[in-house]
């Protein structure tokens, strides 16, 4: 009996000590939840994860934030909004994270945006491009890093207008991002070129494009130019089928995201030449910020960075700088601190706008070419995100009050 009582006593003391140790350990770190579609979108999100891990290593090596190390707890959402909410709830309840970042697809990003509003927890949307995140569905607790759909389309429309092509065909994935990109392109190009005609519009299932049928439908419409919004595996199928059928011969193509090495590199020698694109020509950007980032990334991973790498790195650095400015991980204080927050990124300095919680990160616009059997970007220039924003008056109409 005495032995059993002694064993229970020792077990109780051991448990209390273990819980105390866990509590002390938790107090030494700032736990950040990260949610993304890693299995569904590995081309972009593998490098993205490398990017935020590099930033995490650098921040912690420099002493962390507020005297504590940062800790990221990451989860996969299976590219499904329902799973996105489930893992967000798990991260808060079980892992006790103090804020969230991540997101790739627009539908999962919107789910997290609403979750942040309902739970009053800070969320930095790193990648989702839908305009709704900072406009129609915008809220106090949600900020966005990457240039939005509107911003990236606005970067390309002047190039499209300069082509002076009258008959345009559009192809895009049939979900929020693709629909928004197509609508914005039609609106902005019509304003810049009133005589433009849109003669074909192909909205394809995300991740399941019937490239043969799409290519034939566009060819049948006899457009002068094509606006493409497809990306990842859908882009590869479309490019290969279009090359085979001669769709792109003597036709101008303006294409969102295609210059990103995440999507251009897998095409190899099949990469299109002469397309006007947004992207990231990491290999020839001659700025100190980019060179420093590329060197650090290559030293850690023995690989070159993709656009996803820049997004992941800049997201984690934004969070670190936001926590420093707030002096806290309290969501209300973070939401206030992010208004006007300045962050140094591989693209140079960016600012999170007070009027809509959108960063001023820009993008490179250039032309694709083939070099040494693979696609590259040439004749590119960086367009500051601040230069392609609607007026404050327009934003006020588009965004509800926080």
Co-location of 31 and 97 in the same domain: yes
Is 401 inside any structural domain? no
Buried b (16+ CB within 10 A) or exposed e, 72-105: bebbbbbbbbebbbebbeebbeeeebbbbbbbbb
Co-location of 228 and 376 in the same domain: yes
Is 4 inside any structural domain? no
What integer pLDDT is reported at residue 297 of this predicted model? 98
Angle between helices 307-326 and 331-338 (to 10 degrees): 110
What integer pLDDT is reported at residue 293 of this predicted model? 98
Q: How many domains does the chain have?
A: 2
User: Residue 321 maps to which CATH number?
Assistant: 3.40.50.2300
Contacts with 284 (C-beta within 8 Å, 6 or more apart), sequence order:
none
Structural domain including 53 reads 24-148+286-361
pLDDT score of 4 more than 90: no
What integer pLDDT is reported at residue 401 of this predicted model? 84
Contacts with 146 (C-beta within 8 Å, 6 or more apart), sequence order:
126, 127, 128, 129, 311, 359, 361
Q: Which two tokens stand for residue 397?
A: 């109409």
Q: Are 184 and 129 contacting, i.e. CB atoms less than 8 angstroms apart?
A: no
Co-location of 127 and 167 in the same domain: no
pLDDT score of 15 more than 80: no
Cα separation, 31 vs 71, in Å, equals 5
Co-location of 235 and 350 in the same domain: no
What integer pLDDT is reported at residue 16 of this predicted model? 40
Other Cβ atoms closer than 10 A to 274: 13
Q: Of 209, 234, 204, 262, nearest to 50 (Cα)?
A: 262
Cα separation, 133 vs 151, in Å, equals 13
Is 19 inside any structural domain? no
What integer pLDDT is reported at residue 114 of this predicted model? 98
Beta 374-383 vs 363-371: how paired, if at all? Answer: antiparallel
Least confident of 15-19, 122-126, 166-170, 370-374: 15-19
Averaged confidence pLDDT in the chain: 93
The confidence band for 147, taking pLDDT boundaries of 50, 70 and 90, is very high
Q: Of 202, 212, 269, nearest to 245 (Cα)?
A: 212
Quick: pLDDT tens for 201-215.
999 999 999 999 999
Three-state DSSP state, 389: coil
Other Cβ atoms closer than 10 A to 138: 24
Q: Which two tokens stand for residue 268?
A: 């190899």
Least confident of 20-24, 99-103, 161-165: 20-24
Other Cβ atoms closer than 10 A to 224: 17
Co-location of 157 and 274 in the same domain: yes
Co-location of 139 and 203 in the same domain: no
What integer pLDDT is reported at residue 1 of this predicted model? 40
Write the DSSP assignment of 240-293 as a string of letters.
HHHHHHTTTTT-EEEEEEEESHHHHGGGGGG--SS-EEEE--TTT---HHHHHH
Is 398 inside any structural domain? no
Co-location of 140 and 209 in the same domain: no
In the Cβ-directed half-sphere of 117, how many Cα atoms lie within 13 Å? 16
Co-location of 376 and 229 in the same domain: yes
Cα separation, 102 vs 81, in Å, equals 13
Co-location of 158 and 294 in the same domain: no
Would the CA dihedral through 324, 325, 326, 329 be positive or negative? negative
pLDDT score of 2 more than 90: no
Co-location of 261 and 314 in the same domain: no
Is 399 inside any structural domain? no
Co-location of 368 and 241 in the same domain: yes
Is 199 inside any structural domain? yes
Average pLDDT over residues 26-53: 93
The confidence band for 27, taking pLDDT boundaries of 50, 70 and 90, is low
Cα separation, 200 vs 222, in Å, equals 9
DSSP annotation of 131 reads G
Average pLDDT over residues 219-248: 97
Quick: pLDDT tens for 355-377.
999 999 999 999 999 999 999 99
Co-location of 29 and 91 in the same domain: yes
Beta 342-345 vs 123-125: how paired, if at all? Answer: unpaired
Percent of the chain with pLDDT over 70: 93
Q: Which two tokens stand for residue 309?
A: 């790498």
Is 7 inside any structural domain? no
Q: Are 44 and 104 contacting, i.e. CB atoms less than 8 angstroms apart?
A: yes
Contacts with 288 (C-beta within 8 Å, 6 or more apart), sequence order:
none
Q: Are 54 and 313 contacting, i.e. CB atoms less than 8 angstroms apart?
A: yes
Q: Please provide residue 390's backbone torsions phi and psi, each rounded to the nearest 5 degrees.
A: -65, 165
What integer pLDDT is reported at residue 402 of this predicted model? 82
Helix residue ranges, H only, 31-148 = 42-61, 81-93, 106-119
C-alpha torsion angle, residues 259, 242, 186, 351 (rounded to 10): -10
Average pLDDT over residues 177-191: 97
Is 38 inside any structural domain? yes
């Amino acid at each position: 009996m005495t032995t059993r009582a002694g064993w229970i006593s020792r077990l109780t003391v051991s448990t209390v000590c273990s819980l105390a140790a866990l509590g002390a350990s938790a107090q030494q770190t700032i736990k950040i939840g990260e949610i993304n579609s890693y299995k569904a979108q590995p081309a972009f999100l593998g490098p993205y994860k490398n990017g935020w891990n590099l930033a995490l290593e650098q921040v912690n090596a420099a002493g962390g934030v507020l005297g504590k190390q940062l800790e990221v707890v990451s989860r996969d959402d299976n590219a499904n909004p329902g799973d996105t909410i489930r893992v967000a709830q798990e991260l808060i309840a079980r892992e006790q994270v103090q804020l969230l970042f991540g997101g790739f697809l627009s539908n999962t990003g919107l789910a997290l945006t609403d979750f942040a509003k309902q739970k009053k927890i800070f969320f930095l949307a790193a990648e989702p491009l839908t305009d709704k995140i900072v406009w129609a569905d915008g809220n106090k607790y949600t900020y966005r890093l990457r240039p939005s759909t509107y911003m990236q389309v606005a970067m390309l429309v002047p190039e499209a207008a300069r082509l002076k092509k009258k008959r345009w065909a559009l192809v895009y994935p049939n979900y929020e991002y693709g629909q928004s990109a197509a609508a914005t392109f039609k609106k902005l190009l019509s304003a810049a070129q009133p005589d433009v005609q849109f003669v074909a519009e192909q909205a394809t299932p995300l991740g399941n494009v019937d490239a043969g049928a799409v290519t034939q439908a566009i060819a049948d419409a006899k457009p002068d130019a094509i606006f493409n919004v497809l990306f990842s595996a859908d882009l590869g199928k479309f490019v290969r089928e279009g090359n085979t059928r001669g769709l792109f011969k003597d036709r101008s193509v303006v294409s969102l995201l295609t210059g990103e090495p995440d999507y251009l590199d897998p095409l190899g020698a099949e990469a299109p030449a002469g397309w006007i694109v947004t992207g990231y020509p990491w290999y020839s950007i001659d700025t100190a910020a980019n060179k420093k980032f590329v060197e650090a990334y290559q030293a850690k991973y023995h690989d070159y960075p993709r656009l996803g790498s820049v997004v992941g790195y800049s997201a984690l650095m934004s969070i670190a700088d936001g926590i420093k400015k707030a002096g806290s991980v309290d969501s209300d204080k973070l939401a206030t601190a992010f208004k006007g927050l300045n962050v140094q990124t591989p693209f140079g300095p960016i600012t999170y706008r007070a009027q809509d919680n959108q960063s001023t990160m820009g993008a490179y616009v250039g032309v694709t070419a083939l070099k040494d059997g693979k696609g590259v970007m040439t004749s590119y220039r960086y367009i500051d995100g601040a230069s392609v924003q609607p007026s404050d008056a327009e934003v006020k109409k588009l965004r509800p009050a926080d």
